[in-house]
Amino acid sequence: MSELAKEHPRAAVGDTGLWSSRVARRVAVLVVFGTLVLVAPWFLDAYTVNILVRAFFIAIVAVTVDILWGYSGYLTFGQAAFFGLGAYTLAITFSQLGFGPGQALLALGAAMVLAALLGALVGWLSFYPGASPFYATIISLVLPIVLVQLIYSGGNFTGASSGVVGYFSFPLMTETWFRVAGISMLAVAVLAHIAVSSDAGRLLRALRDNEMRCAYLGINTAAIRITLLTICAAIAALAGAGYAAFGGIAAPENAGFVFGTQLVVMVALGGRGMLTGAIVGALSIELASAYLSGILPYAWELLVGIAFVTVIVLMPSGLFGLLRAMAQRWTPWLFAPAPAVRLGDSAPKARESAVDAVVLEAQGVARSFGALTVLSDVNLTARRGELVSLVGPNGAGKTTLMKCLADGREASAGDIRIAGTPIKGMVPHRIVGLGLGRKFQAASVFETMSVADCLRIARSGRDKPSVLRSCAALNLPAAARSVVEASGLDTRFDEDARNLSHGLKQALELAMVLALEPDLVLLDEPTAGLTRSERNVFATILTRLVEQDRLCVLIVEHDLDFVRQISSRIVVLHQGKLVLDGTVEEVVNSPLVAEIYSGHQVTDDPAPTPTNTPEARA
């Protein structure tokens, strides 16, 4: 700790100091806005107060859209449906049962429960390992359409196209509604802010940046997304219930697809991925359309359309993002620095298996795409303390084999066991749980996150992240720590991963994989594009991992010199078949290998373009 503190002066600042400066700022901001909401009705005219009450409720849903889309990368038009469900639940409860404190509690409770159930169902439908983000977005489009159709078919119960109207609701003055709605919006914003800035909230951005990497860090991405949607659905329903309680009507368009797109427009214009942007967007669009759409009924939609396209294409961070960037440049003192990173050791995982236990057994593995067979009858066994190199010309099936080992849904036939457990049909995050770590061919990290955050995400499977707090410490197992220190990443913890050199990205990804404390590591061409000295550092690290930490490493590699230098065993694949499995000596001196390589030397490109593989594009 003391050594590190010297290297990173800011690391010496303790948790409490940071807490006070950051939190004091936030509390101050909150007090200012809270006071503003409380006194504003005295200064505003009745019309603006009315408009703003509705706008506050809409801003709450906009915040949920921002969390789902801006933070976790799930573009959704479906939040309108949950808002509408909340509005209808309240309106129907009050019209059928009358108004009263009991009915009010029942209505709010039912709104949240129903929306959460529907959210979970939609989540189950939208998110499963390997689901396309397009698919989830299209489902979010279908949801409000189906819901509105149900409302239309509901006869007098739902009021069909005319909505539910004419019920008694809370007898509050408009000014009181303004304060209730405004404070609710601030409360949701504060809770959302705490959640997204927490250790768990960081996972959302990781999902947005690189879902596949998350899955291969052992994170159950589908479960997180479903949970998040369930919570956001319940919050949206509460906002909808408030909207209907104030407005005295629940109408189909409160649940409709057009409203869903308007919410996205609000968040996009305001600025996605920053809660303030969503609120600014929702309030300003609601206010502007109240004042302008009456004056310019024909031009209003055109103006919104043009502004929307311009923002999406030219400034994806939205208007508020632009303002914030300017403020950061001119008044940097307004922005508290991120808490400094303290590097620490994690308690080592208790390894149950023997130092030379078999961690990988593959029997008769085959993979075919229709009539095309890429792999057939591959048998392979590997133990801890072994470094097995997988070689063969391009198209031999090396990467396909790696995929089959890491994803139980890939192989067409055969039996694969990781740490003795058959993985057939198993999704990646569960296989990672068995002790597998996979590094992709093209460095796969979380581009918009800092180095420290990337590593924290990798640890989130082991150190359960808090939803409320953000921890400054970064505890890594020895192997990961040695990679961080040997590569020099430890001097760049605050830097965004996208700014790293190719070599450092590779090192970061390796450190992330090692942070999982795996027993078996799959590395796909880890040295492609690295300099000679970087390669040597890498070889040292690998050797240490195998000999000292007793990991089993399976590596796909083209550089035969490098392979010779590090391997304890070499496996040769050719045309989808395993043709040789032996010691370095046996393989290097084999006439078969010479034949394969001489026959293919010309076509075998030693530096394949990494973007070719679907893995890299994903």
Partner 1 sequence: MKQRQTGILLTSVASFAMLASAAAADTPIRIGVPVGLSGANSVVAPSVVQSTELAIEQINAAGGVLGRPLELVVADDGSGAAGAQRAFDTLIFQRQVDALISMQTSAARNAGLPILSRGNVPYIYTSFYEGRSCHPNMFVNAWVPEQQVPPLVDHFNATYDAQSYFLIGSDYSFGRGMLEFTRAYIEEQGGTVVGEDYLPMDGTDWAPIISNLRGSEADAIITSTAGGAPNVTLTRQLRDAGIDLPYGNLAVDEGTAASMGSVAEGIYISASYVTGIDSDTNREFLAAMEAHFGDELRTPNDLSVPQFEAVLAYAAAAEQAGTTDTAAVIDALAEVTVEGPRGSISMSHQRHAPLTMYLGQVTADGGVEVITAFDAVDPGDQCPDL
Partner 2 sequence: MGNLILDILTTAAILFITSAGLLIIFGVMKIINFAHAAFITVGGFAALVAHQIGLPPLLAPIFALIVGGVLGAIAEAVIVRRLYERPLDAILATWGLGLIMTQLITASFGRGVQFLPPPISGTVSVLGAEYSLYRIVLVGVAILIALAFTALMTRTRLGLSTRAVIMNESLAQGLGINSARVRLITFGVGCGLAAAAGALITPLTSLDPAMGLPFLIGAFMLVMVSGGSLPALALACLVLGGLQAIVSTYVGSVLGGLTIAVCAAVALRIRPEGFARV
Partner interacting with residue 372 (select from partner 1, partner 2, none; CB below 5-8 Å by kind): none
Q: Which long-range contacts (CB under 8 A, 24 or more apart) does 283-289 make?
A: 283/52, 283/55, 283/56, 283/59, 286/51, 286/52, 286/54, 286/55, 286/58, 286/59, 287/48, 287/51, 287/52, 287/55
* Positions that interact with partner 1 (CB under 8 A): 41-43, 45-47, 50-51, 54, 149, 152-153, 155, 159-163, 165-166, 174-175, 247-249, 251-254, 259, 289-290, 293-294, 297-298, 300-301
Provide CB contacts within 8 A for 376, sequence distance 6+: 366, 368, 576, 577
Query: For residue 122, what are its two tokens?
Result: 């939609």
Q: Which is nearer to partner 1, 248 or 582 (CB)?
A: 248
* Positions that interact with partner 2 (CB under 8 A): 73, 75, 125, 128, 130-135, 137-139, 141-142, 145-146, 149, 152-153, 261, 264-265, 268, 298, 301-302, 304-306, 308-309, 312-313, 316, 370, 609, 611-612
Partner interacting with residue 382 (select from partner 2, partner 1, none; CB below 5-8 Å by kind): none
Q: Which is nearer to partner 1, 290 or 560 (CB)?
A: 290
Q: Which is nearer to partner 2, 303 or 579 (CB)?
A: 303
Q: Which is nearer to partner 1, 54 or 535 (CB)?
A: 54
Q: Which residue has the tokens 């949801």?
A: 143
Partner interacting with residue 289 (select from partner 1, partner 2, none; CB below 5-8 Å by kind): partner 1
Q: Which is nearer to partner 1, 93 or 289 (CB)?
A: 289
- The DSSP call for residue 68 is I
Partner interacting with residue 163 (select from partner 1, partner 2, none; CB below 5-8 Å by kind): partner 1
Provide CB contacts within 8 A for 80, sequence distance 6+: 61, 144, 254, 255, 256, 257, 259, 260, 263
How are beta strands 358-369 and 372-383 bridged, if at all? Answer: antiparallel
Partner interacting with residue 251 (select from partner 1, partner 2, none; CB below 5-8 Å by kind): partner 1
Minimum CB–partner distance for residue 239 and partner 2 (Å): 22
Minimum CB–partner distance for residue 300 and partner 1 (Å): 8
Q: Which is nearer to partner 2, 499 or 612 (CB)?
A: 612
Which burial class, exposed, middle or buried, applies to 608 when counting CB atoms under 10 A from its CB (0-12, 13-18, 19+)? middle
Among 85, 89, 69, which Cα is nearest to 77's? 69
Q: Which is nearer to partner 2, 147 or 522 (CB)?
A: 147
Partner interacting with residue 536 (select from partner 2, partner 1, none; CB below 5-8 Å by kind): none
Minimum CB–partner distance for residue 211 and partner 2 (Å): 13
Partner interacting with residue 253 (select from partner 1, partner 2, none; CB below 5-8 Å by kind): partner 1
Q: Which long-range contacts (CB under 8 A, 24 or more apart) does 30-34 make?
A: 30/186, 30/190, 33/186, 34/183, 34/186
Minimum CB–partner distance for residue 72 and partner 2 (Å): 12
Q: Are 151 and 88 in contact (CB under 8 A)?
A: yes
Minimum CB–partner distance for residue 174 and partner 1 (Å): 8
Among 489, 380, 450, which Cα is nearest to 8's? 489
